[in-house]
């Protein structure tokens, strides 16, 4: 017997209430049975995205949402400005290239957040830039970019939309779409929404819809206008992932019951506890100055392999955390505190890391990290 | 208390075994836990598609699969030949147009199957046609097209691939991909695979891979080569819809236990029983000569509204069948016998239709349809 603990940044654990809702006999998406599900999801996603606009939900991974944010709003030959400070930041240019869109990249050292004045300088120099693409939380490095300040720059420029990949940020941290002036806000089901993977949700501003009507990149399955027109009639363009929608309606209800401010406060506290916990055990958080509240990347101590730690956590303690990706492979390990995560998930994470590293020969006093995490977790 | 019966052509009922498998705590798709799932799905999809090639599974609806079959294998300016004999046949040209591909349409009267010699004539006249696109089973009309004969025409033409939308045909009727020479074979999870919607599976022949390497249409999320390269390493390009994959591994196992020949024979018998049943009640099958074994479209009797019947079946008997789409709205109703469907689902369907129509004033002797269905169902 070994209990399993999922502490990776997506998929995140799915609450039993959601699993139960999704395991009921399936219903038909064109029958009246599904209309209340669509209505609840429409209403509650607007609440979560803090927008008056429709939020479009498609069957697909987060990457489908990222692709839609380019193919729906750009034409071949258009130019975008993309912040590339990690594995997901890299993806913008790859998608843009596939659609004939030119990318100007702002390369940011992994572990750092973008210098917002660089974005302003680019837009001032070249007003033909049609979009700024950035991660709110770069999952590979555990860094948050300053979306609010970026939005202040793009908000007044009619020619330029701001596209925010909030796949590991929405429902974690405050990203008021309408208030800040975010044009496209993207999330995926398997993160703070506490669902299995398979849905991408995309909020689209009025300004962005104007861009959409002129954008000529090829799109069909991910045509957001077609989905919006159907949503307004409480239906979907294509067959929706019915069970995931039912799960979404359920998890959104749970989030509403907790309240948005409380959801953000919980994530903030769990993230701080995680950071203090690993530091208390003598480790270093990889994010230099702007750590994400969704996931903490931790540098493996000198001479210790982050991949081996990942494997030992699984083998010895049934904990599935995450290793490092690409250039960070072996150098960091990552702990998620996003979604269905609470006090004792953090205690489990920190104590698990302590025990596994200790057994690997890293002789820091056991419990020193846990104590620091507790000091945060007992705060009101 | 009213029991619910889902008799629509997708989503179809999900077996309890599959619901249970999908409601287990979620696992991480990059952890070793998921590798056996990928390996089982790879192996069993090859078995189901009757191919030696990899079958690619993406998070998306069937339409995502249809889009992938154009965007991966065509370049802007290319020409395809599309069979349009219903709502799904119509979709080929819409997708092609979105990707800058030209469509020559063979329009087929709804209710009829394509005259295969017309396809040959087009290809003989214009060898620059890069693909023939056809439904194996046109869900809107309940008609099957003769894929085997079409494949005989395309098989020897290196320049032309055959793309078969088998979304409501695969796992219903025999479509041996390699043997017949089908180049692209597409299905969706919510049909004969007995799963919730959210996955599209796409088999790709060696010949089609050659086309893929030269095809220039924009694609990223649905890039099948990227998925194939990952599958060969037992992983996925993008985060897969984990629970649906687990469901897929489970339902494929159920199909293997039944055996492919038995699966086909069961569908054939249930379809025949449905057709004989409705005819026994004085109704007419909409398909003129080539009825699909997945779904039967039935003409509403003169003076009776198919939509009203659909509503009455739901209200009075908890049966969700399907109405007609577009030009068939009100004129037909549709009964599915696909996937997790057995003897008494057909008895339910036929007796439900009898009772609802009788109450609407259609005074055919009650039980006359059921008796005809039974006569088929008691066959060995």
| All domains in chain B, ordered by first residue | 16-258 (3.40.640.10), 260-377 (3.90.1150.10)
> Which residues of A line the annotated binding site for substrate?
334
**pLDDT band with cut points at 50, 70 and 90 for residue A307:** very high
Residues of B whose CB is below 8 A from A190: 26, 239, 242
CB contact under 8 A, B6 and A28: yes
Which of helix, strand or coil describes residue A133?
A: strand
Rounded to whole angstroms, the Cα distance separating A134 from A93 reads 11
CB contact under 8 A, A196 and B8: no
The pLDDT score that the predictor gives to residue A23 is 96
Rounded to whole angstroms, the Cα distance separating B173 from B192 reads 10
B368 Cβ partners below 8 Å, 6+ apart?
B280, B281, B282, B354
- Stretches in chain B below the pLDDT threshold 70: none
Q: Residue A1 pLDDT more than 90?
A: no
The pLDDT score that the predictor gives to residue A379 is 95
A77 Cβ partners below 8 Å, 6+ apart?
A100, A101, A102
Quick one: tokens of A241?
Answer: 């992932």
B334 is in an annotated binding site: yes
The mean per-residue pLDDT over the stretch A92-104 comes to 98
pLDDT (tens digit, 9 = 90+) per residue, A109-119?
A: 999 999 999 99
| Residue pairs between chains A and B whose CB atoms are closer than 8 Å | 186
Strand-pairing partners, residue A298, are: A285, A333
| DSSP tally for chain A: helices H, then strands E | 14, 15
The pLDDT score that the predictor gives to residue A2 is 84
Give the torsion through C-alpha atoms of B61, B67, B69, B72, to 10 deg.
-120
**Mutate: best of A9, A23, A167, partner B, most B CBs <10 A:** A23
The pLDDT score that the predictor gives to residue B32 is 95
CB contact under 8 A, B62 and A239: yes
Residue by residue, DSSP assigns B326-347 as GGGTTTEEEEE--SS--HHHHH
Closest alpha carbon within chain B to A325:
B30
The 3-state secondary structure of A49-69 reads: HCCCCCEEEEECCHHHHHHHH
Rounded to whole angstroms, the Cα distance separating A313 from A308 reads 9
pLDDT (tens digit, 9 = 90+) per residue, A261-297?
A: 999 999 999 999 999 999 999 999 999 999 999 999 9
Selected residues 247-306 of chain B with any CB under 8 Å from a CB in chain A: none
The pLDDT score that the predictor gives to residue B380 is 85
Residues of A whose CB is below 8 A from B219: 98
Quick one: tokens of A355?
Answer: 């025990």
Which of helix, strand or coil describes residue B136?
A: coil
Cα distances (Å, whole numbers) of residue B57 to A91, A340, B188, B263: 21, 28, 9, 22
Rounded to whole angstroms, the Cα distance separating B194 from B252 reads 9
**Mutate: best of B215, B238, B243, B321, partner A, most A CBs <10 A:** B243
Residue A320: which of B28, B62, B314 has the nearest Cβ?
B28
Which of helix, strand or coil describes residue B289?
A: coil
Cα distances (Å, whole numbers) of residue B295 to A214, B252, B354: 40, 21, 18
CB contact under 8 A, B61 and A22: no
For chain B, the residue count is: 380
The pLDDT score that the predictor gives to residue B1 is 81
Contact predicate A66/A42, CB 8 Å:
no
Residue B196: which of A94, A241, A322 has the nearest Cβ?
A241
Task: Check if A311 contacts B (Cβ < 8 Å).
Answer: no
Q: Residue A178 pLDDT more than 90?
A: yes
Residues of B whose CB is below 8 A from A99: 218, 220
Place of tokens 């066959």: B379
Residues of B whose CB is below 8 A from A19: 23-25
Contact predicate B358/B321, CB 8 Å:
no
CB contact under 8 A, A13 and B29: no
* Residue from A95, A102, A105 nearest A222 by CA: A95
Quick one: tokens of B163?
Answer: 């793309």
The pLDDT score that the predictor gives to residue B213 is 97
Closest alpha carbon within chain A to B29:
A11
Residues of A whose CB is below 8 A from B101: none
B228 phi/psi in degrees, rounded to 5: -60, -45
State yes or no: ipTM above 0.90: yes
**Mutate: best of A66, A100, A197, partner B, most B CBs <10 A:** A197
CB contact under 8 A, B26 and A4: no
Rounded to whole angstroms, the Cα distance separating A345 from B30 reads 21
The pLDDT score that the predictor gives to residue A300 is 97
* DSSP one-letter code for B360: T
* Residue from B243, B135, B252 nearest B193 by CA: B252
CA distance B257 to chain A (A): 23
Place of tokens 């489990």: A348
Residue B98: which of A10, A219, A240 has the nearest Cβ?
A219
**Mutate: best of B59, B91, B165, partner A, most A CBs <10 A:** B59
**Percent with pLDDT over 70 in chain A:** 100
Q: Residue A158 pLDDT more than 90?
A: yes
Selected residues 99-138 of chain A with any CB under 8 Å from a CB in chain B: 99-100
**How is chain A split among helix, strand and coil, in percent rounded to 5?**
45, 15, 40
CA distance A93 to chain B (A): 11
CB contact under 8 A, B320 and A223: no
CB contact under 8 A, B64 and A221: yes
CB contact under 8 A, B218 and A218: yes
The mean per-residue pLDDT over the stretch A192-221 comes to 98
CA distance B370 to chain A (A): 25
Quick one: tokens of A21?
Answer: 């809702």
Residues of A whose CB is below 8 A from B62: 238-239
Closest alpha carbon within chain B to A237:
B63
Quick one: tokens of B304?
Answer: 């009776």
Closest alpha carbon within chain A to B21:
A23
**Mutate: best of A8, A37, A61, A334, partner B, most B CBs <10 A:** A61
CB contact under 8 A, A239 and B64: no
Closest alpha carbon within chain B to A91:
B220
Cα distances (Å, whole numbers) of residue B314 to A213, B294, B296, B307: 40, 21, 18, 11
Residues of B whose CB is below 8 A from A20: 23
CB contact under 8 A, A14 and B25: yes
Strand-pairing partners, residue B165, are: B135, B186
Task: Check if B203 contacts A (Cβ < 8 Å).
Answer: no
Q: Is the peptide bond before B11 cis (omega within 30 degrees of 0)?
A: yes
Residues of B whose CB is below 8 A from A29: 11, 197
End-to-end CA distance of chain A: 36
Closest alpha carbon within chain B to A65:
B221
Residue A98: which of B67, B198, B220 has the nearest Cβ?
B220
Task: Check if A216 contacts B (Cβ < 8 Å).
Answer: no
CB contact under 8 A, A28 and B241: no
CB contact under 8 A, A238 and B314: no
pLDDT (tens digit, 9 = 90+) per residue, B349-362?
A: 999 999 999 999 99
Strands B137-138 and B184-188 come out as unpaired
Contacts 24+ apart (CB under 8 A), B252-259: B252/B40, B252/B41, B252/B44, B252/B45, B252/B47, B252/B48, B252/B193, B253/B40, B253/B44, B254/B15, B254/B17, B254/B18, B254/B194, B255/B44, B255/B48, B255/B171, B256/B44, B256/B47
Task: Check if A215 contacts B (Cβ < 8 Å).
Answer: no
* DSSP one-letter code for A30: T
Strands (E), chain A: 5-6, 55-59, 79-84, 102-107, 131-135, 137-138, 143-144, 161-165, 184-188, 199-204, 284-285, 295-299, 319-320, 322-323, 332-336
The pLDDT score that the predictor gives to residue A380 is 85
Rounded to whole angstroms, the Cα distance separating A328 from A307 reads 10
Task: Check if B318 contacts A (Cβ < 8 Å).
Answer: no
Rounded to whole angstroms, the Cα distance separating B231 from A163 reads 31
Residues of B whose CB is below 8 A from A31: 8, 314, 320
pLDDT (tens digit, 9 = 90+) per residue, A315-325?
A: 999 999 999 99
Place of tokens 């506890």: A273
Quick one: tokens of A377?
Answer: 């977790």
Selected residues 182-201 of chain B with any CB under 8 Å from a CB in chain A: 188, 190, 196-198
CA distance A100 to chain B (A): 8
């Amino acid at each position: 017997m070994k209990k399993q603990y999922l502490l990776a940044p997506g998929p995140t654990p799915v609450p039993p209430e959601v699993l139960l809702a999704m395991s009921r006999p399936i219903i038909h998406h064109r029958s009246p049975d599904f209309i209340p599900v669509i209505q609840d999801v429409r209403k509650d996603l607007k609440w979560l995205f803090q927008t008056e606009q429709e939020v479009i939900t498609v069957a697909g991974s987060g990457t489908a949402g990222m692709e839609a944010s380019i193919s729906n709003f750009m034409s071949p030959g258009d130019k975008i400005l993309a912040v590339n400070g990690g594995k997901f930041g890299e993806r913008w240019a790859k998608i843009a290239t596939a659609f004939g869109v030119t990318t100007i990249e702002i390369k940011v050292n992994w572990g750092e957040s973008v210098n917002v004045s660089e974005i302003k300088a680019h837009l001032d120099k070249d007003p033909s830039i049609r979009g700024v693409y950035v991660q709110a939380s770069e999952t590979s490095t555990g860094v948050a970019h300053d979306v609010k300040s970026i939005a202040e720059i793009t908000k007044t420029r009619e020619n330029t939309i701001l596209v925010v990949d909030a796949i590991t940020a929405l429902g974690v941290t405050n990203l008021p779409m309408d208030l800040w002036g975010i044009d496209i806000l993207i999330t995926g089901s398997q993160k703070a929404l506490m669902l299995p993977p398979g849905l991408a949700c995309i909020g689209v501003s009025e300004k962005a819809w104007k861009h959409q009507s002129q954008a000529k990149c090829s799109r069909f399955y991910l045509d957001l206008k077609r989905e919006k027109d159907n949503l307004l009639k409480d239906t979907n363009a294509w067959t929706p992932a019915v069970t995931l929608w039912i799960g979404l309606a359920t998890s959104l209800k749970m989030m509403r019951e907790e309240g948005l401010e409380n959801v953000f406060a919980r994530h903030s506290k769990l993230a701080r506890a995680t950071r203090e916990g690993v530091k208390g055990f003598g480790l270093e958080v990889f994010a230099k100055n702007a750590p994400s509240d969704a996931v903490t990347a931790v540098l493996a101590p000198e001479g210790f392999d982050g991949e081996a730690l990942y494997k030992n956590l699984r083998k010895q303690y049934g904990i599935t955390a995450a290793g490092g990706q690409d250039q960070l492979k072996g150098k960091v390990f990552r702990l998620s505190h996003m979604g269905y995560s609470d006090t004792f998930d953090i205690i489990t994470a920190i104590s698990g890391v302590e025990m596994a590293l200790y057994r690997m020969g890293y002789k820091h006093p056991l419990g020193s990290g846990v104590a620091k995490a507790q000091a945060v977790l007992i705060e009101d």
